[in-house]
Structure 1
Amino acid sequence: MTDLDTFDVIVVGGGPAGATAANDLARMGHHVLLLDRGHRIKPCGGAIPPRAIKDFAIPGECLVARITSARMVAPSGKEVDMPIDGGFVGMVDRATFDEWLRNRAADSGAERRKGKFEKYWRDEKGRAVITYKTADGEHVSVAAKAVIGADGANSEVAKQALPDVKKVPLVYAYHEIVKTPVGGLTNYDPTRCDVYYQGKLSPDFYAWIFPHGDTVSIGTGTMIKGFDMRQAVADLRKHVGLDEEHAETLRWEGSPIPLKPLKRWDNGRDVVLAGDASGVVAPASGEGIYYALLGGRLAAEAAAEFLKTADARALATARKRFMKEHGKVFWVLELMQHFWYRNDKRRERFVNICQDKDVQRLTWQSYMHKELVRSNPVAHARIFFKDLAHLLGLVRT
């Protein structure tokens, strides 16, 4: 066992969380292995807020589109536009964006390897050991002082290192990346995200059309097994004139997405989770890229403190810090999804609320800056009473 390659930290998973953690740790001077199985692209609308662009130094060339408004579509077909006043939402294509993040980590000094994680264990020296399988079928073991599990919603690292942590609810997402056709479409705007709150397209979540410059992400999500997501996407594509006859399908992806942070992210010894593995995708909105980037950074900082002090309690600070900053937002969004997405009657009222200018302004401010807006208490009060009126059915849709 003495000939094992040994690292300060092994990061399992090369998505936004894992790549960010590896990059940050390498920049701190630590010896880092970034292990990614490769050939996997997560289904994702690709939206990142300005705060993510700023906090994680995302260059303009990573953005394939800049969104300046959103359109909410009710079950009745009613459309409500929500313009972004003086700002934009960046759009990325995960096929190229994730690879850019991994390359950045490598440029910072992290060692990249491709392989499928198989086993987490500890050797006779008390070291954490990861065994992975290469594309050639070789089984390789490497050791480290700490491990960051960033290997997705069905994290194998979490299953083995934190087997007693209760699983969280999952939404199953599916999307198709299609080529944007040359020529204008009457119901498509390359600077607008369209979100469909219609039970026929998603019985308990939503469907989407998100522009990616030369391509478009068209997808849906649901927690209900057996719902035909492929057919829902086909119906949506036909509705907007982006069906197979008019727009070439370049690729398609499907994957589970968690919608609630796990109760614990570390094993109290040498493992901490990040990204989807820790459950940090926002309920109701399904937003995950910013929270994955942040989760990766917090896991890296927790691991760095553990390396410095040898105190395993440092690993728990990743979750504590995340929940302190975003726990309330996740709680509110979970309540919102539970109530408003339950049936089409409520979805109709939800879209109707989105017409309100106070709701629009505060929604965009909170989304873009990733914090609850406290600067306008009068507006919050107005929204509370308007929302209450909708909940009680006192407002006609």
Structure 2
Amino acid sequence: MSETVYDAVVVGGGPSGATIATDLARAGRKVLLLDRAGRIKPCGGAVPPRLLEEFGIPHSLLVARARAARMIAPSDRKVDMPVGEIGYVGMVDRDVFDEWLRKRAAQAGAERRTGTFERIERTEGEAPTVCYREARGGDIKRVRTRLVIGADGARSAVAAQNIAGAERMKCVFAYHEIIESPQGTSDAFDGARCDVFYQGHLSPDFYAWVFPHGKTASIGVGSANKGFSLRGSVARMRDDLGLKACETIRREGAPIPLKPLKRWDNGTDVIVAGDAAGVVAPASGEGIYYAMMGGRCVAQAADAFLATGQPAALRQARKAFMREHGKVFWILGMMQHFWYSSDKRRERFVTMCADRDVQQLTWEAYMNKRLVRAKPVAHLRIFMKDCAHLLGLRAAA
């Protein structure tokens, strides 16, 4: 009996990897989805309604719908940003959400296996071989494939071994605790509101958050400062907000990339996606939608590569993604660089969030996942206000 050669082995079963496996299997490709068991990424779990529509996600997977966001400044000033009539921020639990995506991939025809990627072996004239272990210290298992797709996170072993410069990817380190939600609603916690803390003592260079998940809540923080205590910051938040007594269900930590890689493929037989490709929005840290959207771009490029045998087809994945979202990522990157650098600037940033023009365009951009071009006058007003805040010509409160 001849050895099975897969069209693609997808390493990593998060939103990006599962989406790729589903799309390729539906296209008639022979796909292996290789994923580590029991891994849950620390994540606020926010998704826009557009994600449910574009990727056929049932509303039943939403555990909460946030109707507002609250921005908290270093001075403890609070600015509420209601979503209004244009939508909501959906909240998902990653353990349930990710497993549903993996099961859908299997239903589409992808083969699932549990294992941890080790390396790729190559023999001239033959398809590459993916080596993995089913358990730590276990024997090496091998499968052959025409294409390897790395969707194995920000510290991707696939990317580090095959994509030049991937090992130097800059990341924010995120940590959160999933707790049992407190009973009732208070100023400190509202099950229909996402709270974002722009306070240097909680994060010197990013932000902290409290996101509702129905019966549970995510309390977390991110920072690129390796000497900063993320656990200590979350403990302070829980104490200050009266959430210390809430039962802790689990604790999770992981790096989150700050910028897309300049190249996603190795020019022959490997391409990366999701966090491995760096597709997390700067400033906001939003990743689920972009992981799935980027995954779809990778699946389309992979299908073209498998059809033609031309490695150049793989380059189209990054081009398609950046064409659609590159400008938004650039603007958010500039926002993070300027507004998160000091408590003085964070204070001004939260003040800007009280502006109705800013709120409206922010929510429209979030729901639509693109810059809103229909209101040039509002953009001009925001630009002028932004300059005034940067130059210190406008009061911070």
Aligning the two structures, in what range does the TM-score lie when normalised by the shorter sequence? over 0.9
Report the alpha carbon displacement of residue 220 of structure 1 after superposing the two structures with TM.
Answer: 0.1
Moved over 6 A (4+): none
Helix, strand or coil: the match of 2:135?
A: coil
Match for residue 189 of structure 1?
190
Q: Distance in 2 between matches of 1:207 and 1:189?
A: 16
Q: Distance in 1 between matches of 2:71 and 2:12?
A: 34
CA contact (8 A) 2:155 2:167 kept: no
1:364-379 paired onto structure 2 within 5 Å: 364-379=363-378
**Unaligned ranges ≥5, structure 1:** none
Match for residue 228 of structure 2?
227
Report the alpha carbon displacement of residue 360 of structure 1 after superposing the two structures with TM.
Answer: 0.2
Q: Distance in 1 between matches of 2:44 and 2:222?
A: 11
Q: Distance in 2 between matches of 1:146 and 1:281?
A: 24
Amino acid at match of 2:241: V
RMSD (CA atoms) = 1.2
Q: Distance in 2 between matches of 1:181 and 1:191?
A: 13
Helix, strand or coil: the match of 1:210?
A: strand
1:315-330 paired onto structure 2 within 5 Å: 315-330=314-329
Residues 117-137 of structure 1: CA deviation (Å, up to 9, x unaligned)? 001122343312100001271
Relative to 1, partners in 2 of residues 1:339 and 1:220: Cα closer, same or farther, differing over 3 Å?
same
Match for residue 19 of structure 1?
18
Match for residue 268 of structure 1?
267
Q: Distance in 2 between matches of 1:44 and 1:165?
A: 22
Match for residue 349 of structure 1?
348
Residues 95-146 of structure 1: CA deviation (Å, up to 9, x unaligned)? 1111111011011110000001001122343312100001271311001111
Amino acid at match of 1:14: G
CA contact (8 A) 1:161 1:267 kept: yes
Percent identical residues:
60
Match for residue 113 of structure 1?
113
TM-score scaled to structure 1, two decimals?
Answer: 0.97
Q: Distance in 2 between matches of 1:294 and 1:17?
A: 8
Q: Distance in 2 between matches of 1:160 and 1:383?
A: 44
Relative to 1, partners in 2 of residues 1:167 and 1:63: Cα closer, same or farther, differing over 3 Å?
same
CA contact (8 A) 1:16 1:101 kept: yes
CA contact (8 A) 1:167 1:262 kept: no
- Please say if 1:83 is aligned against 2:82: yes
CA contact (8 A) 2:172 2:256 kept: yes
How many corresponding residue pairs?
Answer: 394
Match for residue 145 of structure 1?
146
Amino acid at match of 2:95: A
Moved more, 163-172 or 267-276: 163-172
Match for residue 389 of structure 1?
388
Report the alpha carbon displacement of residue 182 of structure 1 after superposing the two structures with TM.
Answer: 2.8
Report the alpha carbon displacement of residue 166 of structure 1 after superposing the two structures with TM.
Answer: 6.2
CA contact (8 A) 1:8 1:31 kept: yes
Q: Distance in 2 between matches of 1:55 and 1:367?
A: 15
CA contact (8 A) 1:71 1:80 kept: yes
Report the alpha carbon displacement of residue 269 of structure 1 after superposing the two structures with TM.
Answer: 0.4
Residues 202-230 of structure 1: CA deviation (Å, up to 9, x unaligned)? 00000000000000000000000110110
Q: Distance in 1 between matches of 2:130 and 2:2?
A: 14
Match for residue 173 of structure 1?
174
Q: Distance in 2 between matches of 1:165 and 1:176?
A: 29
Match for residue 37 of structure 1?
36
Amino acid at match of 2:231: R
CA contact (8 A) 1:185 1:241 kept: no
Helix, strand or coil: the match of 1:11?
A: strand
